[in-house]
């Protein structure tokens, strides 16, 4: 760990001065104070009205706040500590796990757990964390931040710590190249923010300026890692210093891995916090904090969640949580069930797995994880994008950034595809080598739960996206659970 990062860590352990810790933007005139209070009152009243009619959204109250005071994120008093969590994949899981761990430390945590991670949602969360007079009532804020919203949020938020899980290829319509997103974030970061960055992602590792203290996390080489990139999407190939083709010490997926330049000596940064010695059978992992190795519960063996776990450990360490309590926290922390859930019903495993539609790299990781399971598998696949359903127009080019080839495994006996873009999905599956006889298409996103052939199946997968996690993911999971329970009861 660098000297500046160690200094930052010591600063967090002694965070006692009110400024300082109050994070209050100075308002020098009565009209400015009144404007902030009006925004607070209007937002709180809007939230109360929404709850009264059975709605629990934060987007609308936040929009009200920003309409009344466009700079409300910076003008309102913040909790004593502010942590922002961003990245293409994993930010919801990391922010939720961080909030749970810090709550377990006895802190009052303000967090946008429902995923409202744009400027309006963050404004509403900050307002929810103050009294009607604007006094902070939370000890710390853990805020998930949409990576493209950095320019709108970060200057006013000025977080003490920013965690970036990764920056990989995302929605073609939204996020262009991950290098562009890195530029957005870096250009909005203040110099005092401590950055907790993925050492295995060169784009993420480049965030910030020389003024920012940096702490890196990573995952040690795994037996499944390769020596050169394969697959559809690889977004880093040349040295950022001299433009020579990079050599890979190991390659994991997309541009995630460890590299060095044979010409100028440039290389990936060393991880201050490293996950190694994964034992998936015993659900254990070694977390090395600056070489201080400690065994911890492995919350999930999907590589994405291994990164999420070590990112949480690194952030908690920066925040000054004692390391023995960081390790102990993972005994009770679990990824949100809308992201991952696994249970056994009779002789069959039922696995629910977020498969982030429009994001090819995220889908590839879900498909790869699915293929790693042994035995006969059947899959309910409903990962359509619904936002343009009224016109049924969608840019489906993203599916060619995803490695559907993982689903061509002979152990996958059936894939039932539901949703308005089912035929595009079926075509991509066939191009990837999936036998068309194993593909079933249906217009409904939930009907795949009825059509899956459960005979002789060892593992049943429920793959859904972010937008339909509740409307589709929950319904499919519930029906599959019922069908499996009926079969288990009939055979007992």
Q: Which residues are annotated as a binding site?
A: 239, 242, 261, 264
Rounded-to-integer distance, Cα 170 and Cα 177, Å: 8
> Cα(341)–Cα(109) distance, rounded to whole angstroms?
25
Q: How many helices (H) and strands (E) does the chain have?
A: 16, 17
Spatial neighbors of 155 by CB under 8 A, at least 6 apart, are 74, 188, 190
Pairwise CA distance, residues 374 & 29, whole Å: 67
Longest dimension (CA), the chain: 75
Quick one: which H or E segment has residue 439?
Answer: strand 439-442
* Strand, coil or helix: 368: helix
**What does the alpha-carbon distance between residue 147 and residue 323 come to, in Å, rounded to a whole number?**
29
Known binding residues for Zn(2+) are 239, 242, 261, 264
Do 365 and 303 form a contact (C-beta atoms < 8 A)?
A: yes
Percent of residues in the chain assigned helix, strand, coil, to nearest 5:
40, 20, 40
What residues form DSSP beta bridges with 292?
Answer: 289
Angstrom distances, CA of residue 378 to CA of 22, 228, 369, 431, 457? 53, 31, 14, 19, 7
Rg (CA), the chain: 23
Tokens of 447: 């009907």
Residue 125 in contact with residue 65, Cβ under 8 Å? no
What are the backbone dihedrals phi and psi of residue 189, each rounded to the nearest 5 degrees, phi first? -80, 135
For the chain, the first-to-last Cα distance in angstroms comes to 57
Alpha-helix residue ranges (DSSP H) falling in 299-407 = 303-318, 323-329, 360-371
Q: Which of 102, 212, 42 is nearest to 94 (CA)?
A: 102
**Around Cβ 4, how many Cβ atoms within 10 Å?**
15
User: How far is residue 385's CA from residue 363's CA, in Å, rounded to a whole number?
Assistant: 13
């Amino acid at each position: 760990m660098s000297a500046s990062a160690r200094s930052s860590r010591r600063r967090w352990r002694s965070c006692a001065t009110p400024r300082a810790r109050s994070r209050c933007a100075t308002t020098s005139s009565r009209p400015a104070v009144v404007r902030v209070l009006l925004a607070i009152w209007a937002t709180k009243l809007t939230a109360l009205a929404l709850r009264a009619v059975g709605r629990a959204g934060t987007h609308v109250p936040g929009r009200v706040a920003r309409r009344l005071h466009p700079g409300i994120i910076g003008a309102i008093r913040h909790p004593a500590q502010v942590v922002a969590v961003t990245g293409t994949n994993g930010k919801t899981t990391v922010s939720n796990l961080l909030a749970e761990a810090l709550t377990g430390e006895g802190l009052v945590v303000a967090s946008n757990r429902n995923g409202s991670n744009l400027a309006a949602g963050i404004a509403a969360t900050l307002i929810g964390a103050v009294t009607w007079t604007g006094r902070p009532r939370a000890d710390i804020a853990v805020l998930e931040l949409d990576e493209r919203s950095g320019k709108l949020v970060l200057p006013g938020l000025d977080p003490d710590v920013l965690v970036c899980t990764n920056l990989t290829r995302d929605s073609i319509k939204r996020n262009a190249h991950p290098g562009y997103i890195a530029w957005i974030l870096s250009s909005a970061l203040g110099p005092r923010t401590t950055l907790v960055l993925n050492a295995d992602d060169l784009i993420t590792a480049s965030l910030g300026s020389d003024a920012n203290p940096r702490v890196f996390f990573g995952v040690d080489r795994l037996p499944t890692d390769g020596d050169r990139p394969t697959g559809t999407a690889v977004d880093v190939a040349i040295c950022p210093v001299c433009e020579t083709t990079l050599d890979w010490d190991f390659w994991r997926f997309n541009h995630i891995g460890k590299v060095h330049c044979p010409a100028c000596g440039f290389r990936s940064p060393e991880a201050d916090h490293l996950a190694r010695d994964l034992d998936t059978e015993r659900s254990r992992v070694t977390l090395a904090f600056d070489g201080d190795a400690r065994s911890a519960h492995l919350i999930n063996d999907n590589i994405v969640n291994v990164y999420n776990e070590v990112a949480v450990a690194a952030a908690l360490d920066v925040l000054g949580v004692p390391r023995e309590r960081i390790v102990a926290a993972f005994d009770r922390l679990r990824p949100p069930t809308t992201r991952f859930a696994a249970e056994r019903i009779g002789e069959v495993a039922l696995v629910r797995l977020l498969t982030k539609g429009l994001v090819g790299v995220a889908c590839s990781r879900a498909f790869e994880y699915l293929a790693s399971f042994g035995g006969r598998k059947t899959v309910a696949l409903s990962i359509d994008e619904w936002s343009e359903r009224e016109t049924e127009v969608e840019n489906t080019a993203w599916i060619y950034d995803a490695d559907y080839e993982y689903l061509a495994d002979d152990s996958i006996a059936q894939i039932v595809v539901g949703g308005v873009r089912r035929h595009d999905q079926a075509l991509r599956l066939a191009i990837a080598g999936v036998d068309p006889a194993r593909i079933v298409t249906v217009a409904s996103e939930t009907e795949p739960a009825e059509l899956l052939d459960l005979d002789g199946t060892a593992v049943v997968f429920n793959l859904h996206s972010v937008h339909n996690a509740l409307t589709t993911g929950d319904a499919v999971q519930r029906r599959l659970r019922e069908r499996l329970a009926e079969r288990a009861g009939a055979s007992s």
